[in-house]
């Protein structure tokens, strides 16, 4: 049996409560616990469905549409929403334990892993199968949910726990066209070596005023390196699916390329110690020629750090030889899982259907908050209204990867080690050998202890990572 499989999801930080209104402040009418958790009330005899989310970037739009729904829905349902961006998944677990859990929790793409298996097996969430089997035609059409099932991410076996309605693009490279022209560059390079050379030319032309590339102490830089790896045929996780083991050796020429940029002085000095917004500000100020990140940057450079002093482009991630040998990860976004303890499952499902309605999604995508994942919504959305996010549109080679076994390693993780090697802080061969040793020792140990199963896909195709035959082995 062939089953799609995939990677993971995430969260980031700080809690704010609200009750489906246009403000990010706590609702004065909502009863709250000491933790700021808004408790459902049945004012006016309405059925209250409480929703938690870790998204703030789309808050104004979601609040507006929630107000509309609360005022007009024929089912007498009221949505009360709470934004939790501080330790989101731990907060959800704690809410379950304390009996203060919401009815629904939103899931989106990001950096930290969400362990679906733990949430499901702990009885925190419930499968949506009974509702999906009787879902409206509109819901099925707008989500293409039968084609958006990924083992370990939103499904476990035959059980489906949430359905994405949108997606974030794979990593792109945003570039300053003015700086490219001043350096004599007419187009963005297709190879990693070409990108390294372009970064040096821009830096040389800058004379200390601007630089070719910006790194950070967090994910955008690693995403760029991982994107090159994926498109060059070495998936970002360093997992050999066909043989069921970790192998990071394919990263060597990629790490060497990024190391050369540091050696050339092409990276904005000190940028590797800065956070994302600081480097976004540098790119918007015109001091950096290239800045890697995904489709969320469309909104960032339109509203948060608007760019009006130069023209910027969006380029595909380069590869080692200029050819595409593997899929690049596009992250499924914006779905809702239902808590097992909800007292209002039918009403909660109606809210899920509303958030997947054409009325809600059309405005959401046209506002540039995400890219549509279903064929129907891709046709419905007016791309002229959605701004620069269209420049990040997904490509045929974008897909999702199987999630390798989540092993407990000793010492630093793969991202830390590989990026440290790229910055010249450790020998590349030694770094890769260290990762292979520690990750495979952890895999063998955790499999032997029964903590995880070894994932093997003998017919794995890096260009079509979802389509292989999945095996889970106990040894």
Q: Rounded CA gap, 160 and 352, in Å?
A: 14
Structure tokens at 264: 């050339």
Give the pLDDT score at 220.
Answer: 64
In terms of Cα–Cα distance, which of 399, 464, 437, 407 is closest to 249? 437
* Residues 77 and 165 grouped into a single domain: yes
* Residues 223 and 193 grouped into a single domain: yes
Kindly give the residue spans of alpha helices, DSSP state H, lying in 100-251.
116-121, 129-132, 137-143, 177-182, 192-206, 219-231
Residue 7 lies in a domain: no
CB atoms < 10 A from the CB of 336, how many? Answer: 24
* Residues 136 and 194 grouped into a single domain: no
Q: Rounded CA gap, 459 and 68, in Å?
A: 49
* Residues 221 and 102 grouped into a single domain: no
Residue where a domain terminates, one of 329, 362, 381:
329
Q: What is the CATH number of the domain that holds 364?
A: 3.40.190.10
* Residues 253 and 113 grouped into a single domain: no
* Residues 113 and 198 grouped into a single domain: no
Residue 430 lies in a domain: no
The SS3 of residue 406 is: coil
Q: Label residues 267-296 b or e (16+ Cβ within 10 Å = b).
A: bbeebbebebeebbebbbebbbbbbbbbbb
Domains contained in the chain, number? 2
**DSSP character at residue 196:** H
Residue 286 lies in a domain: yes
Residue 288 lies in a domain: yes
Q: Rounded CA gap, 169 and 372, in Å?
A: 10
**DSSP character at residue 166:** E
Residue 49 lies in a domain: yes
Give the pLDDT score at 109.
Answer: 57
Q: Rounded CA gap, 390 and 20, in Å?
A: 29
Residue 427 lies in a domain: no
**What domain range is 152 assigned to?**
15-169+331-394
* Residues 50 and 66 grouped into a single domain: yes
Please, are residues 315 and 172 in contact by the beta-carbon 8 Å criterion?
yes
Q: Rounded CA gap, 425 and 215, in Å?
A: 15
Residue 438 lies in a domain: no
* Residues 77 and 62 grouped into a single domain: yes
Question: Mean pLDDT in runs of 10 for the chain (475 residues)?
Answer: 35 35 31 35 78 88 96 97 87 92 84 73 95 96 90 84 91 96 97 98 97 83 88 91 96 96 95 89 97 88 91 96 93 92 97 97 91 91 84 86 86 92 95 97 95 92 88 89
Q: Label residues 55-90 b or e (16+ Cβ within 10 Å = b).
A: bebbbeebbebbeebbeebeeebbbbbbbbbebbbe
**H/E element, 92:** helix 88-98
How buried is residue 98: exposed, middle or buried, by Cβ count under 10 Å (0-12/13-18/19+)? exposed
Give the pLDDT score at 436.
Answer: 97
CA angle 471, 472, 474 (to 5 degrees): 135
**H/E element, 82:** strand 77-84
pTM exceeds 0.85, yes or no = no
* Residues 126 and 244 grouped into a single domain: no
Q: Rounded CA gap, 175 and 188, in Å?
A: 8
Residue 39 lies in a domain: yes
């Amino acid at each position: 049996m062939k089953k799609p499989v995939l990677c993971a999801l995430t969260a980031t930080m700080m809690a704010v409560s609200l009750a489906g209104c246009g403000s990010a402040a706590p609702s004065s009418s909502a009863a709250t616990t000491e933790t700021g958790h808004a408790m459902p009330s049945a004012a006016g005899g309405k059925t209250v469905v409480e929703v938690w989310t870790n998204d703030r970037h789309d808050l104004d739009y979601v609040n507006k549409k929630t107000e509309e729904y609360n005022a007009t829905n024929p089912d007498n349902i009221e949505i009360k929403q709470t934004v939790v961006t501080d330790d989101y998944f731990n907060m959800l677990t704690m809410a379950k334990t304390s009996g203060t859990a919401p009815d629904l929790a939103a899931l989106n793409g990001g950096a930290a892993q969400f362990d679906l298996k733990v949430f499901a097996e702990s009885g925190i969430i419930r499968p949506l199968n009974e509702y999906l089997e009787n879902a409206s035609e509109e819901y099925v059409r707008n989500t293409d949910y039968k084609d958006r099932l990924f083992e370990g991410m939103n499904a476990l076996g035959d059980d489906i726990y949430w359905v994405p309605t949108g997606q974030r693009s794979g990593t792109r490279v945003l570039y300053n066209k003015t700086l490219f022209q001043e350096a004599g560059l007419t187009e963005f390079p297709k190879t990693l070596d070409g990108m390294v050379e372009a970064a040096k030319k821009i830096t040389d032309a800058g004379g200390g005023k601007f630089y070719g590339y910006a790194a950070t102490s967090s994910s955008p830089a690693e995403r760029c390196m991982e994107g090159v790896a994926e498109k060059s045929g070495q998936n970002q996780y360093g997992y050999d699916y066909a043989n069921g083991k970790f192998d990071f050796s394919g990263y060597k020429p990629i790490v060497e390329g990024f190391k050369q940029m540091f050696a050339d002085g092409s990276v904005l000095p000190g940028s590797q110690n800065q956070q994302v917004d600081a480097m976004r500000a540098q790119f918007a100020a015109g001091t950096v020629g290239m800045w890697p990140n995904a489709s969320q940057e469309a909104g960032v450079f339109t509203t948060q750090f608007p760019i009006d002093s130069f023209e910027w482009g969006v380029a595909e991630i380069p590869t080692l030889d200029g050819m595409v040998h593997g899929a690049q990860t596009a992250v499924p976004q914006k779905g809702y899982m239902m808590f097992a303890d909800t007292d209002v499952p039918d009403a909660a499902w109606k809210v899920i259907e509303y958030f997947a309605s054409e009325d809600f999604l059309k405005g959401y995508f046209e506002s540039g908050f995400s890219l549509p994942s279903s064929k129907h919504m891709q046709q419905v959305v007016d791309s002229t209204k959605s701004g620069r996010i269209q420049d990040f549109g997904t490509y045929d080679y974008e897909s999702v990867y199987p999630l390798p076994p989540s092993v407990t390693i000793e010492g630093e993780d793969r991202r830390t080690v590989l990026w440290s090697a790229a910055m010249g802080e450790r020998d590349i061969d030694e770094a890769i050998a260290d990762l292979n040793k520690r990750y495979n020792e952890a895999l063998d140990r955790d499999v032997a202890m029964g903590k995880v199963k070894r994932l093997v896909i003998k017919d794995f195709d890096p260009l079509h990572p979802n389509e292989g035959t999945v095996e889970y082995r106990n040894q």
